[in-house]
Copies of this chain bind each other. A is one copy, B any other.
Amino acid sequence: MSGFPLTIAATDGAARTGFLETPRGRIRTPAFMPVGTQATVKTMYPEQVRTLGADIVLANTYHLLLRPGAERVARLGGLHDFMRWPYPILTDSGGFQVMSLASLRKVDADGVSFRSHIDGSEHRLSPERSIEIQLLLDSDVVMQLDECLALPAELAEVERAMRLSLTWGERSKAAFGVAQGKALFGIVQGGDVPALRLQSAKGLVGIGFDGYAVGGLAVGEPQATMLKILDATVPALPKEKPRYLMGVGTPDDILESVARGIDMFDCVLPTRAGRHGLAYTRFGKLNMKNARHADDAAPIDAESDCPASRDYSRGYIHHLVKAGEALGAMLLTWNNLAYYQTLMAEARAAIAAGRYADHLAATKEAWKPGGEA
């Protein structure tokens, strides 16, 4: 049997908290997965990521198949040894980056052909090859190949891509077989059309996966659209399986989605924002490039457990960011990932205590002083 048992320890409305038990360790849910695109969470040592409380990280199949190559990673002992992360790893299918990064891509019923954005070399991804690559990487949570459209799109096009993704889901499951100790997740598609989302969810549940992701969101649509889609989709997913909202999102997006029953998240926002001078904090988002921080001897958050947030002055971080120093990005990424993990830990505690709605309102209120976008 593939898949991990999900234990739901407490629920509060649609929100739930618990854990997934995997051979490589427990994943506390709701969970935020830092993104390690090229087998590294940018500017972070793996020990730091772990210490912050991350139970699982994400790596990108598209990037790794191009460089250093899945077969090479397999020869070097798999992704866990390669990137020194012995804990669970989720890999995406590669489909999303093929759509957003590769050139000359051509989707047909069997898969997608494309050229590398690095060197123009030709590649082919089919549902079977995507699974093969993810197993070569030795991923713990494997994602089916899907076709992810940019929104807005024509209704017929959205429906076609959703149906193709269902077919690819079926083929992905067959290729995955019974991968002991690993899980295969299906991906709900259907754009911003609730009826198509529902059809997709039901189709996937009919095939039967170890977990269910909601894909094709966080691609620029308003938060209200995303939440409407979750409201239409999540009730159709089995309670006893983990639910993963792909590529989401801001702290606000995450807390609102937790309220709707999502268990897992990934997003480049805390890492990318850290490289652009932005600090996520419990007081809101701070733009450390802003001159108002230049003479501030106070740290980002004196009460944080994270050294980056607690021990370095805002004035120093402002200087580092303005001077383009690597340490600026290192400290802000560290701060941001710390804040995201704190966000998840507090959400889990609030659900367990049955006060999630109050917690959500209070957290949003506390963000207001930041005021920098």
Known A297-B77, A323-B67, A327-B44; judge A83-B316 contact (CB<8 A).
yes
Contacts of A43 in B (CB 8 A): 326-327, 330
* A84 touches B (CB below 8 Å): yes
B329 x A40 contact (CB < 8 A): no
Contact of A315 among B72, B311, B312 (CB under 8 A): B72
B84 x A295 contact (CB < 8 A): no
- What is the distance, in angstroms, from A39's C-beta to the closest C-beta of chain B? 7
Segment 314-347 of A: residues with Cβ below 8 Å from B:
315-316, 318-320, 322-323, 325-327, 329-330
Number of interface residues of A (CB under 8 A): 36
* A123 touches B (CB below 8 Å): no
Residue of B nearest to A325 (CB): B40
Contacts of A315 in B (CB 8 A): 68, 72, 76, 82
Known A43-B330, A45-B327, A67-B323; judge A316-B38 contact (CB<8 A).
no
Contacts of A40 in B (CB 8 A): 320, 325-327
* A106 touches B (CB below 8 Å): no
Contacts of A311 in B (CB 8 A): 84
- What is the distance, in angstroms, from A268's C-beta to the closest C-beta of chain B? 14
Known A76-B295, A76-B297, A294-B72; judge A82-B316 contact (CB<8 A).
yes
Give the CA-CA distance A74 to B354 in the complex, in Å: 50
- What is the distance, in angstroms, from A117's C-beta to the closest C-beta of chain B? 12
Contacts of A295 in B (CB 8 A): 72, 75-76
Known A42-B326, A77-B297, A330-B43; judge A312-B84 contact (CB<8 A).
yes
Give the CA-CA distance A51 to B297 in the complex, in Å: 25
Contacts of A326 in B (CB 8 A): 40, 42-43, 326, 329-330
* A313 touches B (CB below 8 Å): yes
Give the CA-CA distance A224 to B77 in the complex, in Å: 47
Cross-chain pairs A/B with CB under 8 angstroms, 7 sampled: A38-B319, A42-B327, A67-B319, A72-B315, A76-B297, A76-B316, A81-B313
Nearest 10 CB-CB pairings of A with B: A43-B326, A68-B319, A40-B327, A38-B323, A76-B315, A40-B325, A76-B297, A82-B316, A42-B326, A38-B325
A residues at B contact (CB < 8 Å)? 38-40, 42-45, 63, 67-68, 72, 75-77, 81-84, 294-295, 297, 311-313, 315-316, 318-320, 322-323, 325-327, 329-330
